[in-house]
Amino acid sequence: MIDIGNNVVNTEASVVIRIEGMSCAACSTRVERSLDELDGVVEAVVNLSTKKAHVTFDTSITRLQQIKEIIIKAGYEPLTNTQDPVIGFTPQLTRPSFNLSFAIVFVIPLGVLTMGPMVGLSIPIMLDANSNAITASLVQFLLTLPIVFAGRGFYKSGIRAVLHGGSNMDTLVTIGTSAAIIYSVYGISRIFGGEAGFVSNLYFESAGFIITLVLLGKFIEDLAMQKMSSAISKLVSLSPITATRVEADELKEILLEDVNLNDTLLVRPGEKVPTDGELIKGETSIDESMLTGESMPVNKMAGDLLIGGTINGEGAIRMRTTHVGSETTLARIIKMVEDAQGSKAHIAKLADRVSGVFVPFVIVVAILSAMAWFYSGASFEFALTIFISVLIIACPCALGLATPTAIMVGTGRGAELGILIKNAAALENTDKINTVIFDKTGTITEGKPSMVFFHTFNQMDDDQLLSLAASVEAGSDHPLSKAIVNAAMEKNIPYNMASEIKNVPGFGIVGNVAGKEINIGKPELLDAHNVDRLVAAKTLKDIVESGHTPLLMSVDGKLSAAIAMSDTIKPNSKKAIANLMAMGIEPIMITGDNNAVAVSVAKEVGIDRVIAGVLPQDKELKVRELQESGRKVAMVGDGINDAPAIARANLGIAMGAGTDVAMESGDIVLMNSDLMGVEKALQLGRSTMQNIKQNLFWAFFYNGIGIPIAAGLLFLLGGPLLKPVFAAAAMSLSSISVLTNALRLRAFR
């Protein structure tokens, strides 16, 4: 921020940079630490799964080019948008599938030559190690070279990391396989010197199988990553490529990118709605399931909002565009999911700290273990086996993938269910929530009240009073105001927009119609204007006891009418509340309504605790009071007048059915207005956190057990010695197991 006079200029910017060359958690941790140390960087989050860095920086202190230079100095390559790899355009030689296939073609004959006799296979005498050691060793060497070429990416990454003062998983593979190959080449010189028996001490097959197995593991990881990012791919595919624009009653097919604000578009039956807009002609039903998770089509008529990417039903309609490009609901959802998948959970910090020192630690352990065995009397070949096995079995990849993979799948699955989770912190907080506060109107109830009772006093004319009421309420978007206007329209009672309209938040509205001062709202509003309402006491009591919301109306300071408003409770509210209570969560209802009405609604849905008569600006205070009493609070509201309370809560859940305000206010946004979505969101968050904890446990457990075994612990106790090739298989399996466990979240229901 820069203060220029009285104007504060925001100089912060955020950028997402794709990074080429990261292979494990040690890589992402190194890049993240390097970025954090750069002056002007406010926050840097590097995600190993997505291979992207999310950087927030102060543009008055540093520039994007400096950020990219830091990434290069760390030993990695920042890509521009035009360099971002696209499936189908990746050069053949760099594709994981090609390199794996290329390695397999040569590792199979290498394995047959070196291990075939162990299982009874007959080897041609010319290639038999016992009969022709020189030829056999040279053929093994020649078969290993193409495999090394297939794994050249590991060597490039591993060596580059060392040259830049760091190390990563590829460094371990590079050192381990290079040691095996170099020693084996030395062995060939011994064989040429007449020591034919040395052919049994060659490690070419170990190096070949290690590289191939690591390539296999990376290939499976890539497939898993594609599945993890399928949610975003599905969202992107929702947007049509073209739209039909209406120009002077002529139809013109145009690209979606050429659609402008306020264009009139034709949407035929079965077509996708091109962009966000307002239905201006026709009636139809819209399938919104791909965005909201709601399977039933939604009926639409003139004046209703349409969301781009949804599917039109049987009616041909015309619409006026209200949002295009990056401002559409679909585009914002995609960005929200991408941001969430790129965010980092606090629980990941432990893995990051370990990953930062893991590779140097493993190298030291490998050297010390090999030296310990060698100086205790073991052969050099035995010590070399220990050295290579320790290097290869260690896997910081599993640690680095444990958290981001689960977050990717969890947030992606949420998007498919109409649950938009903005960041990893929101997922973590779901695990702590023990109290959920629900706003009443629009959350527990439909939020579309209707006027059920209009009683006049002082023998005033009903229609005339309702016309005056509608004239004032027409100046407000409040649901109660709309209900009064709708009641006048249904009775064909004419009204004109009042003047001097003033909304009194939490109380009502005042205005002037043809010189008459009109007040409509809570009884307290009339009290503030010194209106005598004693005559309405019994009527008010009857309205409240019937469970309706009472409003009073005065004209020129005299009580004129009592109005009863009713709001239907959503079908699933009661079930959703019961399910949350079964999870051990206490539900609380908060409302601006009076206590009697609030208790009536709460009783119907099974809520015991009610906070009534709360002004919109005071809801945040009630949330804070609960937090100060030790409660971990989730606030559920419609994202409009509940925004401060939603922001204050430990977890803010906005139920806005895709409205702009809802998209901005909550940590979690429910694209449909079904209260069952609250339970789904909390269950999904808890399942994701459980998955992360499982992944971290197995990653730490694997390394805690694997490294000592590779160092010869079992052999020391009379068991077998772990061969490098099996260490490579175990290393790949550890990463695959973490990915597979994370993918289980795709089945969340």
Catalytic residues: 439
Q: For residue 710, how many other CB atoms are within 10 A of its CB?
A: 31
Asked if 29 and 356 count as a contact pair (C-beta separation under 8 A), the reply is yes
Residues paired with residue 679 on neighbouring β-strands, in sequence order: none
3-state secondary structure of 666: coil
Residues paired with residue 298 on neighbouring β-strands, in sequence order: 286
Sign of the alpha-carbon dihedral angle for 671, 444, 665, 681: negative
What residues contact residue 478 under an 8 Å CB cut-off, 6+ apart?
503, 509
Write a three-state SS string for 59-93.
Answer: CCCCCHHHHHHHHHHCCCEEECHHHCCCCCCCCHH
Asked if 170 and 109 count as a contact pair (C-beta separation under 8 A), the reply is no
Token pair 């979505």: residue: 677
Query: At 709, which amino acid appears?
Result: I
Structure tokens at 615: 């002004």
Which among 489, 395, 322, 369 is positioned nearest to 734, based on CA atoms? 395
CA–CA gap between residue 728 and residue 547 (Å, rounded): 69
DSSP β-ladder status, 651-655 and 633-637:
parallel
CA–CA gap between residue 415 and residue 727 (Å, rounded): 38
Asked if 213 and 729 count as a contact pair (C-beta separation under 8 A), the reply is yes
CA–CA gap between residue 68 and residue 575 (Å, rounded): 52
Distances (CA, A) of 593 to 187, 320, 437, 478, 480: 87, 37, 15, 14, 12
CA–CA gap between residue 48 and residue 50 (Å, rounded): 6
Question: Phi and psi for 484 in degrees, rounded to 5?
Answer: -70, -40
DSSP β-ladder status, 549-555 and 516-521:
antiparallel
Asked if 722 and 393 count as a contact pair (C-beta separation under 8 A), the reply is yes
Asked if 368 and 383 count as a contact pair (C-beta separation under 8 A), the reply is no
What residues contact residue 405 under an 8 Å CB cut-off, 6+ apart?
49, 224, 228, 695, 738, 739, 742
Asked if 660 and 276 count as a contact pair (C-beta separation under 8 A), the reply is no
CA–CA gap between residue 433 and residue 587 (Å, rounded): 11
Write a three-state SS string for 383-412.
Answer: HHHHHHHHHHHCCHHHHHHHHHHHHHHHHH
Asked if 49 and 227 count as a contact pair (C-beta separation under 8 A), the reply is no
CA–CA gap between residue 720 and residue 525 (Å, rounded): 85
What residues contact residue 434 under an 8 Å CB cut-off, 6+ apart?
584, 585, 586, 631, 632
Q: Which helix (H) or strand (E) holds 277?
A: strand 276-281
CA–CA gap between residue 409 and residue 747 (Å, rounded): 10
Which among 620, 735, 725, 730 is positioned nearest to 118, based on CA atoms? 725
Which among 143, 133, 144, 137 is positioned nearest to 177, based on CA atoms? 144
Write a three-state SS string for 636-655.
Answer: EECCCCCHHHHHHCCEEEEE
Structure tokens at 703: 């390394």
